[in-house]
A and B are shown apart, each in its own frame.
Chain A
Amino acid sequence: MQTAVILSDLAALAAAHGGDLLVLALALPALALLPAFALGGRWAGRIALLTLPLGLGVAVAIAAAVQHGGVPIAYHLGGWAPPLGVALRADGLSATLLLTTAVVLCAVGLFARADFKVPAGSRETRSPLVFWTLLLGVWTGLNGVFLGQDLFSLYVALELVSFSAVPLVCLSGRPETLAAALRYLLFALFGAVLFVLAAALFYGTYGTLDIGLLARHLAGADPVPPAVLAAAVLMTLGLLAKTALFPLQVWLPPAHAGAPAAGSAVLSALVVKASFFVILRLWFDCLPAGVTQPAAPVLAGLGVAAILFGGVQALRQVRLKMLVAYSTVAQIGYLFLVFPLALGAAALPAGGAAQAAGALTGGMLQLVSHALAKAAMFMAAGLIAVALGHDRIRELGGSARALPLTVFAFALAGLSLAGLQPSGGYVAKTLLTAAADATGQWWSAFALQVGGVLTGAYLLWVLFNALVGFRAPPTLLKRPRRYQELAVLALALGALVLGLVPASSFELVTVGRGGLVGFP
């Protein structure tokens, strides 16, 4: 009783300082990055590890403030209101993603301690300095993306993410990872230049880059100006390239599989979600329903193709990390089913708003549980690869006995990815299926089922090889640290627990949805 009162007081306190919290979320990782780089050496890791729990605290406070207040928090930087100035804004979606990012990064940071330690006897070595500073860089960019309300600031934040993510891919310096990083960078640049082009068209039409102001202009625009239509297409296309939606996924598997385990976890769990998040913002908070509703099935169609292609490719992989990477290709597909479901439900004559909120909540739940599960999976795969000296799936025999905790965590994460009960993935699927039924989009429900079967199949294939090895347990080259295994387990359990909490806990997601474009 006492604690409940204290918690509610704390939430009220956070709500009262909401704006400052947003600034803190953006400034904290950047302010940690600068001394981490300047001091270098062992300080880089120390500063990053110290900042992670602080950032988690800020993210929790923002989520509490948004939930408590029930309305989005907005902040005018420098006191300059848009259109001249730039605003930060946190609604339920932002708060959810800020929190997810902080949780995943804390686990990744803990996991990476062992791998990115400056060896005794040297003051500074390459990969620890690069890893820890880039981790803080990714975080700065991600928080900027989740809070940004201005299209050009979003571009700069997306570039922060890309510039931090690309070097993580080739941190090992192996030639094949260099090629993967270069291909990734080229796709990211292609996406970025289309994004800026679209921003120019928006500015030329309405003289503002603020998403809220643009939405207001567009709500009254009939017909929608051709410049805006062109901008919508170009911006979406650019963001799809960065998100790696089929058929623009070619860069993703080698890049995500080539990075060191902690890096892969960040890339697959969080980085692709940044550009996806901007698509959500553009489609739900900016463009009018008249534009998005007819176009939404195209996105979902590509999503279905991604689910099928990614699933089949994952089944064909020889190596575990590549399998996990192709699984990301498929899981990204699920996220795009949300568009016609939420927009279609919003247009329903009666009870549509609830179904639309359900579809969106389902999509966000899918995003969050994928982030937790996929980070766990990549880190588990990394531990297995280091321990065995390889990650060939057919030769995993006996690894379940040698690395029980790691393989167990991998399996738990798999439950959520496949959407099995009880897990966040299961609840997400239930919500999406309900919206599919309500809007008569049977093909969406069908894709969800087929995707689940494919996911189950490739994960069973891995577990079958790990469990039913006929050989004696393999000799381990290197035993994983216990805290690394616990970090992986914690994330996998997190994905699972999402399915056990009452549905009302997900109300946070819908804060700020009322009265917005697409959600009348």
Chain B
Amino acid sequence: MSMSLGLVADSFLALLILGLAVWTIAVRGTYAAVVGFVAYGLLVALIWVRLAAVDVALTEAALGSGLMGLLLLRAVACLPPDAPAPASGRVGRVALRVVVGVLCAGLTAVLAAVVLQLPEPAPSLAAAAAQALPTTGLGNPVTGVLIAYRAIDTLLEAVVLVLALIGLWSLAADGAWGGRPGALRTREPGAALVLLAQLLPPVGILVGIHLFWTGANHPGGAFQGGAVLAAMWAIVLVAGLAAAPRVDGRRLRLVLVVGPALFFAIGLAGIWWADAFLGYPADWAKPLILVIEAALTLSIAAALGLLLAGPPASEPGPGGQA
């Protein structure tokens, strides 16, 4: 009975999400699409809970919905409306839509059919991951995958964040280089926002640190913790309680690279003490992993926050800085 109740709830959730996705794609206005997408992201986080993936749900909620929503809402506020499509070639465009629509429907049908035919019992690495977990000293297998079995992906991804930030900063005007990112600067933050930015961060910072700390044994970890910390920082920036740091600051750059650098260093040391790059010696695995995760949390939080804060912008005159 409870099984079928769960199915009804899942079906309802799936339909709701599909409806929101259709709305997001089909609605006329860009602002409406952004709002639709933010709501969609929150519901997708719910699906992740239903799929027994609490780690992913946390990441999705913080990143996919929270930070992404902030990014898109700001973008839509800054952009001029799309120019109307030229009258010529309208027939061609409609024809294109029909063709693409048919192709995409076909893709959906193929994917659905293929998913339904996936082998039973499903191939899985769950048993292997659980079996090897004690050697890492961790209790959460997802963290085990991220930091031990597939550590290379996590390491390269930390480098991706640094590169994405360099790419973002590269869009600054030459004259603004070295200055402070200005995208989250608001002219007149409302009193409610300021209050929120004063109350929320202390709690949020605790949550972020907690997520990193429990990640070893429970859902959470460097990405989830980092994303929450970044969100807190973003609120403070939006409310004008602090200014974003200058992009040429040595200390800031150090914070950004400490995670991947330490990860690399411990990984390379593994060649000697564990016979493999990114290997951990049996007795030291847990403390080493915690050190890496702490540094990664810091670097990821800084990188995500700065990615939101945009490229360095020219300063609004002396004294104009909040």
Residues of A within 8 A of B (CB): 20, 23, 27, 30-31, 33-35, 37-40, 75-80, 83-86, 123-127, 129-130, 133-134, 137, 140, 144, 150, 152-153, 156-157, 159-160, 163-164, 166-167, 170-171, 173, 197, 201, 203-208, 225-227, 230
Contacts and interface: CB of A to CB of B under 8 A. Distances in A.
Interface residues of B, number: 58
A77 B276 contact: yes
A207 B123 contact: yes
B254 interface: yes
B170 A77 contact: no
The 6 closest A-B pairs by CB, nearest first: A207-B123, A79-B276, A167-B167, A78-B278, A126-B177, A130-B170
B173 to A, nearest CB: 7
Contact of A38 (B111, B250, B268, B280): B250
A207 B159 contact: no
A38 B115 CA distance: 46
B162 A126 contact: no
Nearest to B132: A84
B113 interface: yes
Nearest to A231: B114
B123 A84 contact: no
B114 A226 contact: yes
B48 interface: no
B81 interface: no
A121 B184 CA distance: 31
A159 B268 CA distance: 23
Nearest to A234: B107
A37 B253 contact: yes
Contacts of A85: 149-150
A502 B254 CA distance: 50
Contacts of A150: 150
Contacts of B253: 37-40
Nearest to B257: A34
Contacts of B162: 33-34, 37
11 contacts: A30-B264, A37-B162, A75-B276, A78-B151, A78-B276, A78-B280, A84-B129, A85-B149, A86-B150, A152-B153, A207-B123
Nearest to A41: B248
A130 B247 CA distance: 13
A125 B264 contact: no
Given A27-B264, A34-B264, A85-B149, 5 more contacts: A34-B257, A38-B253, A127-B170, A157-B156, A205-B118
A34 B261 contact: yes
Given A33-B162, A79-B274, A166 B167 contact: yes
A204 B160 contact: no
A230 B110 contact: yes
Given A160-B163, A206-B123, A230 B256 contact: no
A4 to B, nearest CB: 31
B148 interface: yes
Given A78-B148, A160-B160, A166-B167, A34 B276 contact: no
Contacts of B159: 30, 33-34, 137, 140, 160
Contacts of A80: 132, 148-149
B174 A125 contact: yes
Contacts of B149: 78, 80, 84-86
Contact of A153 (B156, B174, B256): B156
A84 B113 CA distance: 28
A207 to B, nearest CB: 3
B160 A173 contact: no
Candidate in B128, B132, B280 with the most chain A CB atoms within 10 angstroms: B128
Given A84-B125, A226-B117, A230-B111, A163 B178 contact: no
Nearest to B165: A37
A35 B250 CA distance: 11
B172 A126 contact: yes
B151 to A, nearest CB: 6
A137 B270 contact: no
A129 B170 CA distance: 9
A424 B175 CA distance: 45
Contacts of A206: 123
Interface in B171-204: 171-174, 177-178
Contacts of A144: 156
A453 B237 CA distance: 60
A78 B276 CA distance: 5
Nearest to B259: A34
Interface in B78-111: 110-111
Nearest to A206: B123
Contact of B278 (A77, A123, A173, A208): A77
A163 B148 contact: no
Interface in B258-275: 260-261, 264, 267-268, 270-271, 274-275
Contacts of B125: 83-84, 207-208
Contacts of A84: 125, 128-129, 132, 149
Contact of A37 (B117, B118, B257, B274): B257
B173 A78 contact: no
Interface string B136-158: 00000000000011111100110
A126 B177 CA distance: 6
A246 to B, nearest CB: 19
A205 B119 CA distance: 6
A35 B256 CA distance: 11
Given A83-B128, A86-B150, A230-B110, A37 B160 contact: no
